[in-house]
Structure 1
């Protein structure tokens, strides 16, 4: 009887150790899969690319956006030497708000709430309406984002709170 109990207990322990050992490797692989490296050697945490679904954060971001003249912004500014600055705040298909910043000038790449916060602090004092002069819009955006005026291409797309879509494109 002791012999059967010993064999059964041994098999159970081996199965338990095998199951636990596999879980550790799976967790490690998941973490490694969520970090990518681009061809320039920059790393991005893929977890930050998923839509923000934290209700409290979403409420705060939507509340902040309601204070602005617009509900979405997409900015792309190209400079010489293949440098670009891109920033956007938008809503995904499920209604979650998020942000993205790809700043090749300062080598800063943000996603999600960090990107939203970065962009919001820059645009909270920007005033844009249907009647705002194109040059005034460009000057406001360049100043608020602390970007040089020697751009090659300036492209700004915004959606005003009333749903009006505006685009400002300037090539030098």
Structure 2
């Protein structure tokens, strides 16, 4: 009887561990595109945005990263009470990133204007964006209004 209980408990623990392990990181995209496809489509491999407004700190946050292990995406808009992770965030961000068409040669003001427009923000108190372009160069676009 004791042996049977141990087998059942052991099986339950093992099943739980396998199920939890299969869930993965909630920000991971389940069927990610290849890094080459993302680079050619977006022109960058990493995008990390944080915009504060007078009404809301961290009003808009968007993060996206593709590497050899996969793709992670997250989008949070506190003004619209929207929180997206993984596949949902990637599908939401994909057309925005495609339309942005950012390049490392753009002026800071042009990049900021395009990003603010794309994410529907007209005024901000702090703008912080880090982009890693396809050649590996990372550029930070930052502005603070007081």
SS of the counterpart of 1:59? coil
TM-score scaled by length of structure 2: 0.75
Q: How many residue pairs get matched? A: 142
Which structure: larger Rg? 1
Q: Where do 5+ consecutive residues of structure 2 fail to align?
A: none
TM-score scaled by length of structure 1: 0.65
Residue pair 2:47, 2:130 contacting (<8 A) in 1 also? yes
Higher relative contact order (CA 8 A, sep 6+): 2
In structure 2, the CA distance between the partners of 1:72 and 1:66, relative to structure 1 (3 Å rule), is: same
CA deviation vs aligned residue, 1:8-33 (integer Å, no higher than 9, x gap): xxx7xxx69xx59x95xx97xxx9x9
CA deviation vs aligned residue, 1:95-134 (integer Å, no higher than 9, x gap): 2111011211111111111111111111101122232111
Runs of 4+ in 1 over 6 A off after TM superposition: none
RMSD: 3.4
Corresponding residue for residue 129 of structure 1 = 103
SS of the counterpart of 1:149? coil
In structure 2, the CA distance between the partners of 1:47 and 1:62, relative to structure 1 (3 Å rule), is: same
In structure 2, the CA distance between the partners of 1:88 and 1:50, relative to structure 1 (3 Å rule), is: closer
